[in-house]
Structure 1
Amino acid sequence: MRTIFILNGPNLNLLGQREPEIYGRTTLDEIRGWCEADAADLGLAVDFRQSNFEGEIIEAIHAARTHAAGIVINPAGYTFTSVAILDALKMFAGPKIELHISNVHQREAIYHKSLVSPVVTAVMAGFGAQGYRLALRAMAEMTA
């Protein structure tokens, strides 16, 4: 069975509470539940992780090199600051989707320049929490 790593960066553990006018009221646990159910329907397995620590996200990307068919990553604030996550993603040979709940291009200028976009297969932004479900379906096609 193909496994898709779904990796979530800092502060995403507070989804549903943090700035709901931007990120909505859906919690990360609800998103995990959707992804697990959708993965089963798609014949996939998911390894769903969240960390507020850059090194843990990098370790997860390293683990994906031998355990995952693809990666969906919402690097959150690390999108704009982490060369280390960029470098780790370069080492993953499979498809990678960068995901953002909000449309980062409608937000302040600091959110417009992603360091990881140049090394991912696709970028999704602005679909809200439902973006995870869309990304997982896209990943099913990309890894078929």
Structure 2
Amino acid sequence: MKALVINGPNLNMLGIREPGIYGSDNYETLVQICQDAADELGFDGIEVFQSNHEGAIVDRIQEAYGSIDGIVINPAAYTHTSVAILDALKAVAIPSVEVHISAVEEREDFRQVSYAGMACFARVTGEGLSGYARALEILASHLKEKQASI
């Protein structure tokens, strides 16, 4: 099993950006959490990708077709605006889990719509950076169930 974790705009600023909402851990900590979780869950490989550019995220999703078994995605601000990311996820049809560090459902009204989430089979919110490990756990379970049914 190979996993791809995609992070959208401003997540590279973790530890600096609004620590009251996103915590004081930096992006490197997030990457390490993902790598450690992937190892524990039996993934053969994991890539953690971040971009502030919508097109780069769409490109990476498309590039995953045929080589990645599952995606964990935090589109960040693009969650609420990007039909392009939704369409890319739907096009490749790779099982995907949406993750958010904060509890977006408890935040501003504009954060209540998740376009990317419409192409995901599960969602993890409000668990801080540990939510990424939880999202990878959900993804691994889904992929193992899928493999067992073949």
TM-score by length of 2: 0.92
In the alignment, what sits opposite 1:55?
Answer: 55
- CA displacement, residues 32-59 of structure 1 (integer Å, 9 cap, x when unaligned): 1121122122221111100001111001
Aligned to 1:85: 85
TM-score, with length taken from structure 1: 0.95
Deviation by residue 1:92-112 (Cα, 9 ceiling, x = unmatched): 223111111101111111111
| Residue 141 of structure 2 is aligned to residue 132 of structure 1 | no
CA RMSD of aligned residues (A): 0.9
Aligned to 2:117: 117
Residue number in structure 2 paired with 1:73:
73
Q: How far apart are the structure 2 equivalents of 1:119 and 1:83?
A: 11
**Alignment partners' CA distance in 2, 1:69 and 1:84:** 21
Structure 2 CA distance for aligned equivalents of residues 66 and 59 of structure 1: 14
Q: Which residue of 1 aligns with 2:15?
A: 16
- 2:32 paired residue number: 33
Q: Secondary structure at the match of 1:67?
A: coil
1:65-122 CA distance string (max 9 Å, x none): 1111100000000001111101001012231111111011111111111112222111
Unaligned runs of 5+ in 1: none
- Residue 141 of structure 1: how far off its partner (Å): 0.7
Please give the alpha-carbon distance, in whole angstroms, between the structure 2 residues aligned to 1:34 and 1:130. 7
Aligned partners of 2:127 and 2:119: how far apart in 1? Answer: 21
SS at match of 1:18: coil
Taking the aligned partners of 1:138 and 1:28, their CA distance within structure 2 comes to 22
Runs of 4+ in 1 over 3 A off after TM superposition: none
Q: Distance in 2 between matches of 1:101 and 1:19?
A: 12
Equivalenced residues, count: 143
**Long gaps (5+) in structure 2:** 145-150
